Chains A and B, each alone.
Chain A
C-alpha cells in the first residue's frame, strides 16, 4: 500500500499554516493523487506509470505550494514564514540601528569595522590622498599637500607633492625627514632630501644620522655593527664623519611631534578624526636608526677613547666621551618614545662610566666619584624606564585583548549581516508575493529574515566593546600618549584572531574574487531555475 500522504508531504514541504489546516490540505492533495493513481490502474497502466501519471497532474510542486499559500493567506499576507522574524520586527531592528547611527561614536565604530577585515588597511586610499593634495593646491593650503606627501605610497609622486608643499610654505621643510630616511625611501631620493634637510636645519643631528644610515646600508646591509665592523666602516667611508657631525649637533629632533600635529589637524579637517586613523599614521612613522648610534657610541667608549688614553691624549679621550654623554642628553631631551629615552640613558651611562675611569686614572678622584654617580643615575633611569614601559605595556595589552577580540568578531558579523540586510530589504523587505518559498530558497529567505536582528545585536556588542577606545584624537597631545592608550586595542582589533598567519594576505586577495564567483554562481542557478519554470508554465497542459 502506497503512502500517498507521505509522497505529498515530502514534495510540498511544511506549509506555514495552522497545523490542522496544513494537515487537511496535504491529506486532500494525497487523496487527489490516490484517486488519479487508482483510475490509471483501472485503465490498465502498470503501477510505476500510474504513479508518474498521477504525479504529472501536480506539475511543479513549488508552484502548487505558492498557489495554495497565496489562496490561503492572500497575496498581501503571505509573510511571515514559521520561525522567521516578522517584517515589522526586522524593520524595527534596522530603525534602531539607524537611530544609533546618530551618535558620532557609533558611526566611528561602524567605520572602523571594515578596517579589520579589509584588504587595504590604509585609512585613506591613494586616490583620496591625491585628492587631498589637489585640494591643497587649489586652496593654497600647504598642510594638505604635505599630509598627502607624507602618506602616499607612490614615493616619486609623494616627493613631488612634498616639493610643492614646501614651495607654498617653507616652514614645512621638516617633511623632508620622511623622504630623507633611507629606511622609507630610495637612495637617490633620500640623498637629495637629506642634503635639503641638512641645509634647512644644520643644527639638528637627525639629517647627519640619516646620511650615516645611508652609508651603513650600502656597506653593511646584512652585517651586525660590532666594534670591529664599526671601525672598518668609519675608516673606509664617511660614516664616522657623519656620526661625529650628528654627535656634535646641538639638537636632536626627529619632527615626530610636528608630524603628529599635522596629521591630527588634517584628519580633523577631512572629517577623519578617528584616533584609529591617527594611530595608524603615527605607527607608520620612520625613526632614526638608534642601534647605529649605540654602535658608534660603543666604538668611542670601547675603542677610540681607550686608544687615545693609551696614546697619552687624555684630553682627546675626554672630548670623545663627552661627545657621547652630551649626545645622550640631547636624544633624551628630544625623545618622543620610551625606547629613545632608554637608548639616551644607555649612552649617558657608558659615557659617564668611561669619563669616571679616565678621571680616576688621571688622579681626579672627586670628579671620578661625581661622574660615577651620573653613570649610575643614567643606568637606573634606563632600567626604570624599561621596567615601567614593559610592565605598563603588558597590562595595557592584556586589558585590551578581550574587548578587541569581541569587537573583531562582532565587526565581522556586522559586515555580514549588513550585506544580508541589503539582500533582505531588496528581496523580502518590500515585496509580499515572493516571500513564501520552499526548499533552499525558503532556507535562504528564513536566514535573511534574521539579518536585521543579527545586525542590531552585533552592532550593539561591537559598540559596547569599542566604547572605551572610541576617543577623539583631539584628546591626545602626543603620538606617544595616543599609542600608549589606544594601540593595544586597535592593533589587536586589526589583527583579530589571525589563524591564517601569513596566508591572511592570500585569503584577503581571494576574498573579493571568491565573493564575486559565488554571486555569479547563485545568479546563474536562480536564472536557470527561473527559465525552467517559465518554460514549464508555457506547456499546453499547464493550468
Chain B
C-alpha cells in the first residue's frame, strides 16, 4: 500500500481502535498489523508521533496504567472530541471509498 495513503489513514485507525477501550502504543501497532492481515505495518516513527499529536489536540488522553499482561504501560483513551473527529473521519472515508468504488466498478464492469 502506498506510503501517503498509509500515513493519511493512521490517525483514523488509531482513533477507531481506541473506540472500544483504552490501549497502549504497542497494542495499537499489533492490532493494526493483525486486523489488516499484515497489509499495514507502521514504524514507531509514525505511530507514536501520531499518538502524541492526537493527545496534543485533545482527541486522546494518555495515562499510566497496568496493561493486560500486568506491566505498567501508558494507555490512551478516546476523548469526547476524539469521538466526534472519528465520526467525521468515518463519514469522509465512507464518501471517499464509495466514490472510488463507483469509479472502479464503472470502468471495469
Q: A interface vs B, CB < 8 Å?
A: 24-25, 27-29, 31-32, 35-36, 57-60, 63-64, 67-68, 70-72, 74, 541-543
Distance in angstroms between the alpha carbons of A29 and B25 in the assembled complex: 9
Which B residues are CB-close (under 8 A) to A67?
45-46, 48-49
B42 to chain A, nearest CB (A): 4
**B44-A64 in contact (CB<8A):** yes
Q: What's the tally of chain B residues with a CB closer than 8 Å to chain A?
A: 25
B83 within 8 A of A: no
Task: Give Cα A59 to B44, complex, Å.
Answer: 8
Are the CB atoms of B43 and A72 closer together than 8 Å?
no
Q: How near does chain A come to B6, taking the closest CB pair, in angstroms? A: 7
Q: In whole Å, how far is A346's beta carbon from the nearest beta carbon of chain B?
A: 86
Contacts of A57 in B (CB 8 A): 29, 43-44
Show 20 residue pairs from A and B whose CB-CB distance is below 8 angstroms, ordered by the A residue: A24-B74, A25-B48, A27-B74, A28-B48, A28-B74, A31-B25, A31-B73, A32-B48, A36-B26, A57-B43, A58-B43, A58-B44, A60-B45, A64-B43, A67-B45, A71-B49, A71-B50, A543-B3, A543-B44, A543-B45
Q: What distance in Å separates the Cβ of A159 from its nearest Cβ neighbour in chain B? A: 71
Q: Total number of A-B contacts with CB less than 8 angstroms?
A: 73
Does B96 count as interface, using CB distance less than 8 angstroms?
Answer: no
Given the contacts A31-B24, A31-B71, A72-B56, A541 and B49 also touching, CB distance less than 8 Å: no
Task: Give per-residue flags for B49-73: 1 if the beta carbon is below 8 A from chain A beta carbons, else 0.
Answer: 1101100100000000000000111
Among B44, B48, B73, B74: residue with most chain A CB under 10 A: B44
Q: Are B73 and A543 within 8 A (Cβ)?
A: no
Residues of A with C-beta under 8 A to B10: 543
Selected contact of A59 from candidates B45, B50, B72, CB within 8 Å = B45
Q: Report Cα–Cα, A542/B45, bound state, in Å.
A: 9
Q: Which residues of A contact B49 (CB under 8 A)?
A: 64, 67-68, 70-71
B41 in the interface, Cβ–Cβ < 8 Å?
Answer: yes
Known: A24-B74, A28-B74, A31-B73. A543 touches B43 (CB 8 A): yes
Interface presence of B15 (CB below 8 A): no
**Chain A residues, Cβ within 8 Å of B24:** 31
CB pair B43 A32 closer than 8 Å: no
**Among A27, A35, A59, A71, contact of B52 (Cβ-Cβ < 8 Å):** A71
Which DSSP category, helix, strand, loop or mixed, fits chain B's interface? helix
Q: Which residues of B (16-43) have their CB < 8 Å from a CB of A?
A: 24-26, 29, 41-43
Q: Among the listed B26, B47, B74, which residue makes an inter-chain contact with A543, where contact means beta carbons less than 8 Å apart? A: B47
Instruction: Pick the most buried of B49, B56, B74: most chain A CB atoms within 10 A of its CB.
Output: B49
Which residues of B are found within 8 Å of A542, using beta-carbon distances?
A: 3, 43
Verify if B7 is at the interface (C-beta below 8 Å from A).
yes
A31/B52 in contact, CB under 8 A: no
**How long is the Cα–Cα vector from A70 to B43 in the complex, in angstroms?**
16
Bound CA–CA A541/B29 (angstroms) = 13
Q: Judging by beta carbons under 8 Å apart, are B56 and A32 in contact?
A: no
Q: Are A72 and B42 in contact (CB under 8 A)?
A: no
Collect the chain B residues with CB atoms within 8 Å of residue A29's CB: 44, 48
Residues of B close to A63: CB separation below 8 A: 45
Minimum distance in angstroms from A105 CB to a CB of chain B: 52
Neighbour of A541 across the interface among B41, B52, B74, CB < 8 A: B41
- Asked whether, in the complex, the Cβ of B74 is within 8 Å of the Cβ of A64, the reply is no
Q: Are B25 and A28 in contact (CB under 8 A)?
A: yes
